[in-house]
Structure 1
């Protein structure tokens, strides 16, 4: 089953990322670790970054689905904080690679999608041009992503502080009325 092989390759990549930088991981190494041929690898992925891209998109889609099913905004933000915290080591190593820009862009894209959903749910008839909406969402998504990337979180209490800070920034600040109906 292709998804199983893709997941197997992805798991091997994540395992190797615990030991070395992304630039030093080769297709040959991944194929050997998975017990597959290089041809099988290339059937599923173009290169090592394609594996990273697939993993990050799968993770992002799952995080987005989970956050949209959350009971309230705080729970949704907690999902984001928990997932980023759980993958902090991997994210740091990926952000230290030459693919930093793509990784940051993917994280911003996830938050942009979530915030677009929140904005349109709260204000289905909001009169905002597509250009203004795009700028507005990019501003907020970039800020949330930056906080999650930069903030060191070691305890559950620190996670909760960050969730509360993000909640305040998005839903309680003077501009927060935009996110709520």
Structure 2
């Protein structure tokens, strides 16, 4: 059976990140640990950040597939939150790197893509212009990423409560709006 070299490289990076910072991992170390040539690495990836982005895209694809199978928005969102916490150490290692702003941008892009796919697949009741939908997606993505990153840094986050709150917020059960008192 042929080896999926991209997956092998990604799994090796994941294992290395359990023991050291992203900033300390070199392509040389990665190829030596994988037992492959540099040429093989560069055939599949441009650099280590390319591996990180590929990993995130693979995870995103899996999350979207699971969401399509989920019976409701709530179950889909809950699944995303639990999956995020399953990868807590990996995400924390990435966020602890000198490339944090790049990691946040990738995470934000992935969450936005996820919410957009969820909206399309579940036939959302949102009736608004495309421009307003883009604003809602951006707002929800930024909020969800911020809350997830904050919660991941807590010693003992209540993942069940967080998932419940995010589900209620994203499905409109919790609303918050400013009103002018005239």
Q: TM-score range by the shorter chain?
A: 0.7 to 0.9
Q: How many residues align?
A: 172
Aligned-partner Cα distance in 2 for 1:166–1:50: 30
TM-score, normalised by the number of residues in structure 2: 0.84
Q: Does 1:8 find its partner at 2:8?
A: yes
| 2:56–2:110 Cα contact (<8 Å) kept | no
C-alpha RMSD of matched pairs (Å): 2.3
| 1:153–1:159 Cα contact (<8 Å) kept | no
Instruction: Give the 3 Å change call, closer, same or farther, for CA 127–139 of structure 1 in structure 2.
Output: closer
Aligned-partner Cα distance in 1 for 2:167–2:128: 24
Instruction: Give the 3 Å change call, closer, same or farther, for CA 101–65 of structure 1 in structure 2.
Output: farther
Aligned to 2:180: none
TM-score, normalised by the number of residues in structure 1: 0.85
Instruction: Give the 3 Å change call, closer, same or farther, for CA 117–46 of structure 1 in structure 2.
Output: closer
Aligned to 1:137: 137
Instruction: Please list every run of 5 or more consecutive structure 2 residues that lacks an aligned counterpart in the other structure.
Output: 177-182
Instruction: Please list every run of 5 or more consecutive structure 1 residues that lacks an aligned counterpart in the other structure.
Output: 176-181
Aligned to 1:97: 97
- TM-superposed CA distance for 1:123, in Å, is 3.3
| 1:64–1:114 Cα contact (<8 Å) kept | yes
| 1:12–1:33 Cα contact (<8 Å) kept | yes
Aligned-partner Cα distance in 1 for 2:91–2:3: 22
Per mean C-alpha deviation after superposition, the further-off stretch among 166-175 and 75-84 is 166-175
